[in-house]
Amino acid sequence: MKVEFPASYWKDYQLLDSGRGEKLERFGPFVLRRPEPKALWDPSMPDAEWKKRAHVSFVPGAGFGKAGKEDSGTWNRLRKMDDQWFISYKGAADAETGANSDLDLALRLGLTAFKHVGVFPEQAPNWEFIFRETSRLVRINAANGLDRPKVLNLFAYTGGASLAAKAAGADVTHLDSVRQVVTWARENMERSGLDGIRWVVEDALKFARREARRGNLYQGIILDPPAYGHGPDGEKWKLDELLFDLLKNVAQILAPRDSFLVLNLYSNGYSATLGETVCREAFKTFRELESGELALRDDFGKVLPLSIFVRLKR
C-alpha cells in the first residue's frame, strides 16, 4: 500500500504539529488550530506555543461529531487575520526536462461555519496524478486527431481537482450539490487564469445515472464523496448505502480505453483494501489499479493519515 504526501516544495502549506485530537497548520501567512480526530498522540509542542502561533482556533458546536453536523462550530480569533485569503499551488517540474509545470493554481481560503477552509492539502498528490494523466490523454487524443479529453469531477467542492484537469487541457465538468461552493470554485478558476469549466449544481448519483442512460463517456472521472450529504433538491446521500451503486453507474460512463478514475474516501473505517475491492467489483475491466493513503507529516515527523485513494486506468 502506498502512502503519499504533499511535496515539500509547497511553501504555502505546512503542518506545524498535531496531537490530542487537533492539528496546527499554516496556510500562507496564517496559522489555524483545528480539530483532527485521527491525531491520537500527544503534540510535540507545548500548548502555550500552539496558542502563541495560532491566528484562530476552531471551537466545535453542540452538533459536532453527529451525522450531518460533524464539522459545525465557530472560530475563535486570537490574532488579526483576513476572513478570506489566497494561497498558491505550483505543480512538480517535469522529471525528464526540468521544465516548470503548467499546474499553477490560486486557491481561495476562508473561515467557514465548519472546520473546513476551502482546501484539503493532503489532496495535492491526487492533483498531480490528475494533471499527469490528463496531460497524457491530451497528447494521445491529439496524435489520433481526437477532441480534448472530457473529465468529470463529482462532489467537486472548491475545485482543486477540476483546476488540475483544466490546466492539463481537458474539457472539465465540475459538479457539486452546493451552489455556494460551485461559485467558490469558479473564483478559483478565474484567479488561476483558467476558463471554460462547465458548472453543474446537481445530485451526483442522479447525474451519473442520467449520463449512463444517455451513453455519454468521459476519459477521466474524479470522485470525492462525503460520508453524508444532501442534493440540491433534498436527495439524501449516505456513503455506506450508495457508494457501490454510484460506482456501477460511473463504470458505464468511463471510456473503455485511455481513461482514468480517482476515488477518494474520508469516511472513518474505510480502508484502501475496501476501496480497491469495491472498485474492482464495480468496474470489472481495467488496465491498472492502485490504492493507498493520503497523509500529512508534521514538522516533528508524525504522520497523520487522512483519506484513502483508489486510482484506476483503462
Determine the average pLDDT of the residues in 7-25. 96
Beta-bridge partner residues of 56: 32, 77
Residue 62: per-residue pLDDT: 64
Identify the band that residue 98 occupies on the pLDDT scale cut at 50, 70 and 90. low
Residue 207: per-residue pLDDT: 97
- With a CB cutoff of 8 Å and minimum separation 6, the contacts of 9 are 90, 92
Identify the band that residue 206 occupies on the pLDDT scale cut at 50, 70 and 90. very high
Distances (CA, A) of 137 to 67, 94, 173, 193, 232: 39, 16, 16, 22, 33
Residue 45: per-residue pLDDT: 98
CATH of the domain at 189: 3.40.50.150
Instruction: Give the mean pLDDT of the chain.
Output: 93
pLDDT at 66 over 60: no
pLDDT at 137 over 90: yes
Considering the chain, what percentage of its residues have pLDDT values greater than 90? 84
Considering the chain, what percentage of its residues have pLDDT values greater than 70? 95
Identify the band that residue 101 occupies on the pLDDT scale cut at 50, 70 and 90. confident
Determine the average pLDDT of the residues in 246-261. 98
pLDDT digits (tens, 9 = 90+) for 35-65: 999 999 999 999 999 999 999 999 998 655 5
Identify the band that residue 69 occupies on the pLDDT scale cut at 50, 70 and 90. low
pLDDT at 194 over 60: yes
Beta strands in 67-170 (DSSP E): 73-77, 84-90, 104-110, 150-154
Residue 275: per-residue pLDDT: 96
Residue 270 grid cell: 474505510
Determine the average pLDDT of the residues in 73-94. 91
Among 297, 294, 254, 257, smallest CA distance to 275 is for: 294
Identify the band that residue 269 occupies on the pLDDT scale cut at 50, 70 and 90. confident
Number of C-beta neighbours around residue 256 at 10 A: 10
Residue 96: per-residue pLDDT: 59
Domain span at 165: 2-313
Distances (CA, A) of 96 to 56, 99, 101, 132: 42, 8, 12, 13
pLDDT at 304 over 60: yes
Identify the band that residue 70 occupies on the pLDDT scale cut at 50, 70 and 90. low
Identify the band that residue 139 occupies on the pLDDT scale cut at 50, 70 and 90. very high
**Total domain count, the chain:** 1
Identify the band that residue 231 occupies on the pLDDT scale cut at 50, 70 and 90. confident
Residue 93: per-residue pLDDT: 72
User: What is the spatial distance between Cα 210 and Cα 215, in angstroms, rounded to a whole number?
Assistant: 9
pLDDT at 68 over 80: no
